[in-house]
Amino acid sequence: MNNLDSDLITRSSSNTAGCPFDTSPANADNDASQHTASHPKARSMTQPRTYVTDFHIHSHYSRATSKQLTPEYLAYWARIKGVHVVGSGDITHPGWLAELKEKLEPAEEGLFRLKPEYADVPEVEDFPAPDGEVRFMLTGEISNIYKKAGKVRKVHNVICLPDFASAEALQTRLDKIGNITSDGRPILGLDSKDLFDLCLNVCERTMFIPAHIWTPWFSALGAKSGFDNLTECYEELTPLLAAVEMGLSTDPAINWMCSFLDDFTLLANSDAHSPEKLGRNANLLATDLSYTALREAVIKGDDGFVGTISFFPQEGKYHFDGHRKCGVCFDPVETFRHDGLCPECGKPLTVGVANRVVQLSDRSDILQRPNRKPFHSLIPLKELLSELMDVGPTSKKVAKVYQGYIRQWGPELTILMDLPLDIIEQQSDALFAEAIRRMRAGEILITEGYDGEYGRIRVFDDGEKERFTAQGQHAAALQPRKKRSLLTFDLEEYRRLLTQKERKVHLTDME
């Protein structure tokens, strides 16, 4: 098992130029100290503020989304979550673009803010959002379905633009190609490379980003309908990609296995289909507040791009391989050992995202990735409270406590990443403080999702919570838990088995 520690979580003091997060690496221990060598150093007060950004979301014009995906509710929930710059989503839809033009006004260059007359939502009376400024960037996602190299390809791409004129020009061009009014995320029979070229012709400052690149059915590298590398998809325009979006199913460490991604910044966005999902994946950018500055930080991926926030990808329902009906869940190594077949029924296993990344990977040591950035692995506050309270995350009990903590301490991401543990213990209780400590330290229990079965992330084992409450925090601290590894499977063993198999095939061919 890869024993590299995952302590890349960065925690702050409150002097970070108005930002709830400090960009300096936490004190690393064990092998984790190796990760900080290429990370940005702590910055002075004269450096730009760090902004939490979430570029990829949707509006109420997209299918299977919340009716509350309006500018008013997006700004409201961004303040609750602690997101400073929110993508508008769905800029290719004429109705949504008209609503944005009505309700937003220019702020900094290339960014927009909610007009004062639209600032309130009914919920603010019972659950006021923390104070804060929210900015919008014009963004959208397009589903490209087309045939290339003898296969049907289904690829989603995210587009970011600096002004309404460019968005309207893009709509005019796309309206001649397909139906852009039936869905906020339109489906077009257009090659991804051709869409990229079209966008650059509309606005040379376009940020064009392959969306959730590992999703099996709808992504550039997806196992079902994608490509085996980005160049096959975007051809000569590949170097002009602004970045790549990891999606909810992977985190940076998993992507570090692939050297062909080294030239691209790894983005984390929520792809939110409801306002409350904002910030579940997000980016930390230490820049001036403008489209130009944010774009430059994303493209260069240097000190201006501080890192990412991700909720644990192992919770995804297609992270590992397996058969749900047979109760079989395998990591990529076990799948390889079983030749991809279920040991119970003998049929092919449903292959997950982690396995797809391994198949395209070319590294045994993921720390060979240059310019590695810290990433923050978090558990949503409501899910954490759900575990502690033994009720569902959508229950009224959890909602009441959640709202109380937001009123008391501020945005959710501030609580999860920044709030001092002694404050939490003094103003809440030792159990909640210990849960936050374990999450920040990566001392968590992971049950990976597979074949449509969601995974589970916990901070306490069965009965441990009760023992902690009965015995006190000092007794529990005598039994430290091993921190999670960067990878939850043995990449070196996979490489060894692959080499062994290739040698056997080679010898057979020679006979």
pLDDT confidence bin for 453, thresholds 50/70/90: very high
Question: What burial letters (b/e) apply to 175-207, b meaning 16+ CB within 10 Å?
Answer: eeeeebeebbbbbbebbbbebbbbbeebbeebb
Query: Is the separation of the CB atoms in 174 and 262 below 8 Å?
Result: no
pLDDT digits (tens, 9 = 90+) for 145-184: 999 999 999 999 999 999 999 999 999 999 999 999 999 9
pLDDT value at position 59? 98
| pLDDT at 33 exceeding the cut of 90 | no
Query: Is the separation of the CB atoms in 270 and 309 below 8 Å?
Result: no
What six digits make up the tokens of 41? 């150093």
Question: ∠ CA 380-386-387 to the nearest 5 degrees?
Answer: 95
Segments making up each domain of the chain, as ranges: 50-315
pLDDT digits (tens, 9 = 90+) for 106-141: 999 999 999 999 998 999 999 999 999 999 999 999
Q: Strand 456-458 vs strand 445-447: parallel, antiparallel, or unpaired?
A: antiparallel
Task: For residue 219, give the nearest of 276, 153, 173, 155 by alpha carbon.
Answer: 155
pLDDT confidence bin for 468, thresholds 50/70/90: confident
pLDDT value at position 23? 28
The CATH code for residues 50-315 is 3.20.20.140
What six digits make up the tokens of 167? 């968005």
> What average pLDDT score do residues 186-205 get?
98
Angle between helices 164-175 and 192-202 (to 10 degrees): 140
| pLDDT at 36 exceeding the cut of 90 | no
Helix or strand run (H / E) with residue 76: helix 71-81
pLDDT confidence bin for 41, thresholds 50/70/90: very low
User: Could you report how far apart the first and last alpha carbons of the chain are, in Å?
Assistant: 36
pLDDT value at position 282? 98
Q: Lowest mean pLDDT: which of 27-41, 83-97, 276-290, 439-453?
A: 27-41
CA distance 227 to 232: 6
Question: ∠ CA 66-176-181 to the nearest 5 degrees?
Answer: 20
CA distance 167 to 507: 58
Question: What burial letters (b/e) apply to 26-55, b meaning 16+ CB within 10 Å?
Answer: bebeebbeebbeebbeebeeebbbbbbbbb
What number of residues does the chain have? 511
pLDDT digits (tens, 9 = 90+) for 305-352: 999 999 999 998 899 999 999 999 999 999 999 999 999 999 999 999
Helix or strand run (H / E) with residue 424: helix 421-427
Q: Lowest mean pLDDT: which of 112-116, 235-239, 499-503?
A: 499-503
pLDDT value at position 479? 63
DSSP 91-152: TT-HHHHHHHHHHEEE-STT-EEE-GGG---GGGGTSPPPS---EEEEEEEEEEEEEETTEE
